């Protein structure tokens, strides 16, 4: 059948970039993508990120989760979904021959005989006697009798979990509340409209062994020797899962569960070469920018990932000069699959991923026409797309330069690589430390014990001790253990035991000193505050605020910033730039306290910590390190009863608050949590009996953050109450 002529999705225009589709241009495009950190090295960083994240969630949140999707495969862009799978505890699916009377917990037998390819029924073998656990209740409530056989309903099970997750979301601060929890296949989808992204939480039950059909993957003959024997042996030890979603046409759809190989697939992605991940990113961009305009709900990232897996078994030459040809082969394979409406699952060949998709012949022909048009010049089609360029970097600059200067692709590319290495240079230490802090801060979302943090530290140390991610995650964990030891000391009456906690606190806090340039020192200041080492604190702070530094400020990575400055200088010098950095690896984060720290932080922070109940706030709060240092300086004067120093200390704090708020250039997005700075300043004004200024700053705080969890409301109530008492 002939393919009807259609208008190309990317119309030719004078603004389009023109590229020759040859090996030289292919090599240059690969180099450009590598310069934008689409590399195996970046994949390895996200492997480490995922390891730390999953360890934290396991020991602090008591959940088994696995991070998936674009977050950890170099293909994310602004607005990308954040995907993860929750592995339900104490629940396992087994083959009939593996059943054993000694099994405990919720044990479910897989029955694949009467199920569509890639799906199974689950029948309870034994259920836990602990009826107080959601894992058991979800199974009990999902049991359905069909022809005298009990099955676990995937539909009922997922609805139970949706209601459970909806209940958990209410404990997030209002600004981080998700919208209505919706079903999205086997996932619970949470929409975070304030952050322009969704979060898909897949629900998985661990399988004790792979289904028999999938064992073919282990012994499969591969022309390219990818994955090699070492990787195959590693992957075959990983579990697969069943997800609560059935095959729609099946009369048992509500009972069926779908097999998923999330961990094996993730491991394969993490073992991609640079060119393999370049190929996947290009395919995903072309799909999102071009093919989605024709059939937005027909082809997804999982389909593309599967195609790259299949072709990786065939293609031997994953060389930068062959990038364009690799993409073309994947596109040809995709086109063939579209026309035949057949794409086999990578681990279970009999499952057709295009079943129930691409039913409209006209759509299939339009896709074929567009794919063939793309194949005429893959690199040009990719560079003229918009989606991936939202991240900026070399690719965006290359695109703009070729458009605006009419410069040829090769000339423009070489020019960008020459100048861009400076303009877009990313300090690998800073990047790894920000990622490390972003994931390590998860230990703050719930109250953690010293024991659970030590367990995380032991796992991270064993797996990642020689990596930047591991090193700096361990330093932050050390700081948190030190703070918890300080708290324990406050609650211990026995003098000898209390002294041991204090000594431990000092050791852990000093161990974490290199976590960053500013915040880590502030935790040690908190220790000295509790130890009443006021002279030591005064000496340090006087010297500290005389320094002219340029420290890159990263706030609380992944969440927010407490100020708008890209660089902080204790002396508030407005002119500092990157050239003034004492060390190119310097970095500054926010000072972070949890609700459990209330007994050992200075008074103004106690109000903030008292309201960290997980409803109107997280279980932690962040403060800019300069604001905290300046407030501590005021509090030391209070403790020393140095009344002459109090008014100038408050004015200094006011200047610092304004300094961090009014800066420019911070790349971490909108500055929030500033209301805490206003509350600290308002508190200090009230201490020196300047009620008018105190009220002014508390009101400003409420204007910035008008929630019941804002301590400003309580400060104002105290002022009113005291005024009435005096009256």
The pLDDT of residue 144 is above 80:
yes
- Please check whether residues 299 and 261 belong to one and the same domain: no
Answer with the one of 269, 299, 326 that is the final residue of a domain: 269
Q: Identify which has the larger pLDDT, 189 or 653.
A: 653
pLDDT tens for each residue of 242-263: 999 999 999 999 999 999 999 9
Answer with the one of 373, 398, 417 that is the final residue of a domain: 417
SS3 88: strand
Q: Quick one: pLDDT at residue 190? A: 64
Per the rule left: phi > 0, alpha: psi between -120 and 50, beta: everything else, 380 is alpha
Cβ 276 vs Cβ 145: under 8 Å: no
Q: Which residue matches tokens 């995922």?
A: 50
Cβ 445 vs Cβ 618: under 8 Å: yes
- According to the 3-state scheme, what is the secondary structure of 231-300? HHHHHCCCCCEEECCCCCCCCCCCCCEEEECHHHHHHHHHCCCHHHHHHHHHHHHHHHHHHHHHCCCCCC
Which domain, by its residues, includes 144?
61-73+81-269
- Which residues pair with residue 198 across a beta bridge? 191
In whole angstroms, what is the distance from residue 632 CA to residue 510 CA? 19
CB environment 580-604: b (16+ within 10 A), e (fewer): ebeeeebbbbbbbbbbbbbebbbeb
Total domain count for the chain? Answer: 3
Q: Quick one: pLDDT at residue 336? A: 98
Cβ 196 vs Cβ 179: under 8 Å: no
- CATH number for 404: 1.10.1410.40
Q: Quick one: pLDDT at residue 79? A: 58
SS3 209: coil
> Does residue 286 form part of some domain?
yes
Answer with the one of 391, 417, 443 that is the final residue of a domain: 417
> Does residue 429 form part of some domain?
no
Lowest mean pLDDT among 163-167, 349-353, 386-390, 642-646: 386-390
The pLDDT of residue 383 is above 90:
no
> Does residue 241 form part of some domain?
yes
- Which residues pair with residue 591 across a beta bridge? 623
Confidence of residue 669 (pLDDT cuts 50, 70, 90): very low
Confidence of residue 175 (pLDDT cuts 50, 70, 90): very low
Average pLDDT, the chain: 90
The pLDDT of residue 630 is above 80:
yes
Among positive and negative, which fits the CA dihedral 50, 56, 58, 62?
Answer: negative
- Please check whether residues 237 and 353 belong to one and the same domain: no
- Please check whether residues 28 and 101 belong to one and the same domain: no
End-to-end CA distance of the chain: 92
SS3 611: coil
Average pLDDT for 416-431? 74
Cis peptide before 227 (omega within 30 of 0): yes
The pLDDT of residue 194 is above 60:
no
Q: Quick one: pLDDT at residue 64? A: 94
- Please check whether residues 545 and 584 belong to one and the same domain: yes
Lowest mean pLDDT among 156-170, 497-511, 516-530: 156-170
In whole angstroms, what is the distance from residue 285 CA to residue 331 CA? 12
In whole angstroms, what is the distance from residue 464 CA to residue 51 CA? 9
> Does residue 524 form part of some domain?
yes
Number of H helices, E strands in the chain: 27, 15
pLDDT tens for each residue of 274-316: 999 999 999 999 999 999 999 999 999 999 999 999 999 999 9
pLDDT tens for each residue of 330-376: 999 999 999 999 999 999 999 999 999 999 999 999 999 999 999 99
pLDDT tens for each residue of 542-572: 999 999 999 999 999 988 778 788 899 999 9
- Please check whether residues 342 and 384 belong to one and the same domain: yes
Q: Quick one: pLDDT at residue 651? A: 98
- Please check whether residues 539 and 679 belong to one and the same domain: yes
In whole angstroms, what is the distance from residue 543 CA to residue 520 CA? 17
In whole angstroms, what is the distance from residue 276 CA to residue 576 CA? 42
Q: Quick one: pLDDT at residue 13? A: 44
The pLDDT of residue 515 is above 80:
yes
- Please check whether residues 336 and 244 belong to one and the same domain: no
- Please check whether residues 296 and 227 belong to one and the same domain: no
The pLDDT of residue 170 is above 60:
no
The pLDDT of residue 616 is above 60:
no
Q: Identify which has the larger pLDDT, 669 or 220.
A: 220
pLDDT tens for each residue of 13-40: 445 667 888 999 999 999 999 988 999 9
Q: Quick one: pLDDT at residue 668? A: 47
pLDDT tens for each residue of 690-711: 999 999 999 999 999 888 789 9
> Does residue 159 form part of some domain?
yes
pTM: predicted TM-score of the whole model, two decimal places: 0.91
Average pLDDT for 446-464? 95
Q: Which helix (H) or strand (E) holds 87?
A: strand 82-94
> Does residue 623 form part of some domain?
yes
- Kindly state the percentage of the chain with pLDDT values over 90: 72
> Does residue 245 form part of some domain?
yes
- CATH number for 232: 3.30.460
Average pLDDT for 417-424? 66
The pLDDT of residue 462 is above 80:
yes
Q: Quick one: pLDDT at residue 369? A: 98
Q: Identify which has the larger pLDDT, 252 or 666.
A: 252
- Kindly state the percentage of the chain with pLDDT values over 70: 87
Candidates 633, 687, 671; CA nearest to 655 is 633
- Please check whether residues 521 and 663 belong to one and the same domain: yes
Cβ 555 vs Cβ 587: under 8 Å: no
Q: Which helix (H) or strand (E) holds 463?
A: helix 450-464
CA 627 from chain centre, in angstroms, equals: 27
- Please check whether residues 318 and 179 belong to one and the same domain: no
Confidence of residue 166 (pLDDT cuts 50, 70, 90): confident
> Does residue 440 form part of some domain?
no
Confidence of residue 171 (pLDDT cuts 50, 70, 90): very low
Among positive and negative, which fits the CA dihedral 162, 124, 122, 252?
Answer: negative
pLDDT tens for each residue of 522-540: 999 999 999 999 999 999 9
Cβ neighbors of 682 (< 8 A, separation 6 or more) are 693, 694, 695, 696, 697, 698, 701, 712, 715
- Which residues pair with residue 94 across a beta bridge? 109
Within 10 A of 626 (CB to CB), how many other CB atoms are there?
29
In whole angstroms, what is the distance from residue 151 CA to residue 254 CA? 10
Dihedrals φ, ψ of 203, to 5°?
Answer: -115, 120
Candidates 549, 693, 569, 544; CA nearest to 624 is 569
The pLDDT of residue 52 is above 60:
yes
**How far are the Cα atoms of 287, 383, 494, 618 from residue 393, in angstroms, in the given order?**
21, 13, 58, 33
Confidence of residue 384 (pLDDT cuts 50, 70, 90): confident
Cβ neighbors of 282 (< 8 A, separation 6 or more) are 323, 327, 378, 382
- Please check whether residues 341 and 207 belong to one and the same domain: no
Average pLDDT for 121-136? 94
Over the Cα atoms of the chain, what is R_g? Answer: 29
Q: Identify which has the larger pLDDT, 101 or 371.
A: 371
Q: Quick one: pLDDT at residue 1? A: 45
The pLDDT of residue 177 is above 50:
no
Q: Quick one: pLDDT at residue 418? A: 79
The pLDDT of residue 182 is above 80:
no
Average pLDDT for 109-138? 95
pLDDT tens for each residue of 572-595: 999 998 889 989 899 999 999 999
pLDDT tens for each residue of 201-254: 889 999 999 999 999 999 999 999 999 999 999 999 999 999 999 999 999 999
Within 10 A of 418 (CB to CB), how many other CB atoms are there?
9
- Please check whether residues 356 and 392 belong to one and the same domain: yes
């Amino acid at each position: 059948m002939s393919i009807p002529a259609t208008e190309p999705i990317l119309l030719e225009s004078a603004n389009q970039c023109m590229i020759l589709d040859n090996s030289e241009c292919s090599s240059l495009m690969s180099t450009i993508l590598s310069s934008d950190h689409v590399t195996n090295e970046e994949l390895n960083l996200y492997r480490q990120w995922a390891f730390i994240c999953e360890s934290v969630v396991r020991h602090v949140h008591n959940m088994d989760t696995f991070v998936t999707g674009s977050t950890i495969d170099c293909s994310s862009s602004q607005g990308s979904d954040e995907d993860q799978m929750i592995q339900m505890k104490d629940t396992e699916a087994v083959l009939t021959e593996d059943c054993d009377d000694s099994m405990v917990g919720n044990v479910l037998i897989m029955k694949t005989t009467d199920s569509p390819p890639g799906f199974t029924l689950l029948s309870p073998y034994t259920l836990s006697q602990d009826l107080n656990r959601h894992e058991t209740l979800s199974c009990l409530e999902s049991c359905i009798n069909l022809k005298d056989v009990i099955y676990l309903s995937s539909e009922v099970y997922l609805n139970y979990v949706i209601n459970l997750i909806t209940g958990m979301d209410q404990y997030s601060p209002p600004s981080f509340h998700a919208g209505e929890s919706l079903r999205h296949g086997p996932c619970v989808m949470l929409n975070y409209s304030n952050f322009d992204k969704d979060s898909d939480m897949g629900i998985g039950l661990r399988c004790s062994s792979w289904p028999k059909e999938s064992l073919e993957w282990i012994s499969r003959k591969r022309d390219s020797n990818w994955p090699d024997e070492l990787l195959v042996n590693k992957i075959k030890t990983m579990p697969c899962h069943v997800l609560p979603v059935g095959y729609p046409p099946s009369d048992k759809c509500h009972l069926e569960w779908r097999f998923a190989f999330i961990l094996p697939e993730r491991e394969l992605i993490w073992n991609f070469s640079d060119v393999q991940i370049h190929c996947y990113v290009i395919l995903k961009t072309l799909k999102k920018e071009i093919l989605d305009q024709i059939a937005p709900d027909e082809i997804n990232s999982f389909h593309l990932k599967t195609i790259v897996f299949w072709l990786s078994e065939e293609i031997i030459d994953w060389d930068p000069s062959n990038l364009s040809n690799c993409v073309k082969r994947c596109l040809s394979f995709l086109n063939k699959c579209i026309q035949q409406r057949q794409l086999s699952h990578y681990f279970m060949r009999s499952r057709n991923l295009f079943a129930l998709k691409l039913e409209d012949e006209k759509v299939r022909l339009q896709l074929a026409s567009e794919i063939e048009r793309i194949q005429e010049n893959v690199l040009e089609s990719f560079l003229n797309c918009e989606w991936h360029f939202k991240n900026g970097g070399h690719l965006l600059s290359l695109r703009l330069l070729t458009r605006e200067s009419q410069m040829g692709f090769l000339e423009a590319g070489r020019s960008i690589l020459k100048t861009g290495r400076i303009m877009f240079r990313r300090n690998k230490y800073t990047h790894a430390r920000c990622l490390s802090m972003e994931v390590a801060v998860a230990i703050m979302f719930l109250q953690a014990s010293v024991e659970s943090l030590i367990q995380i530290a032991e796992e991270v140390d064993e797996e990642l001790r020689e990596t930047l991610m591991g090193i700096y995650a361990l330093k932050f964990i050390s700081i948190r253990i030190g703070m918890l030891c300080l708290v324990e000391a406050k609650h211990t009456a026995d003098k000898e035991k209390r002294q041991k906690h204090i000594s431990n606190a000092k050791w852990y806090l000093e161990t974490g000193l290199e976590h960053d340039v500013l915040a880590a020192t502030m935790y040690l200041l908190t220790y000295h505050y509790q130890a009443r080492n006021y002279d030591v604190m005064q000496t340090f702070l006087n010297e500290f605020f005389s320094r002219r530094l340029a420290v890159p400020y990263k706030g609380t990575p992944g969440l927010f910033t407490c100020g708008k400055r890209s660089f902080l200088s204790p002396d508030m010098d407005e002119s500092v730039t990157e050239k003034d950095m004492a060390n190119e690896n310097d970095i500054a984060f926010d000072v972070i306290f949890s609700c459990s720290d209330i007994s050992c932080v200075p008074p103004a922070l106690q109000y903030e910590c008292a309201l960290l109940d997980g409803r109107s706030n997280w279980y932690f709060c962040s403060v800019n390190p300069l604001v905290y240092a300046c407030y501590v300086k005021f509090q030391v004067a209070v403790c020393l009863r140095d009344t002459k120093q109090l008014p100038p200390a408050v004015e200094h704090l006011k200047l610092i608050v304004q300094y961090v708020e009014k800066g420019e250039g911070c790349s971490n997005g909108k500055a929030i949590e500033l209301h805490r700075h206003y509350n600290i300043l308002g508190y200090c004004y009230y201490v020196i009996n300047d009620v008018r200024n105190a009220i002014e700053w508390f009101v400003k705080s409420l204007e910035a953050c008008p929630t019941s969890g804002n301590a400003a409301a309580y400060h104002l109530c105290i002022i009113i109450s005291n005024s009435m008492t005096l009256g």
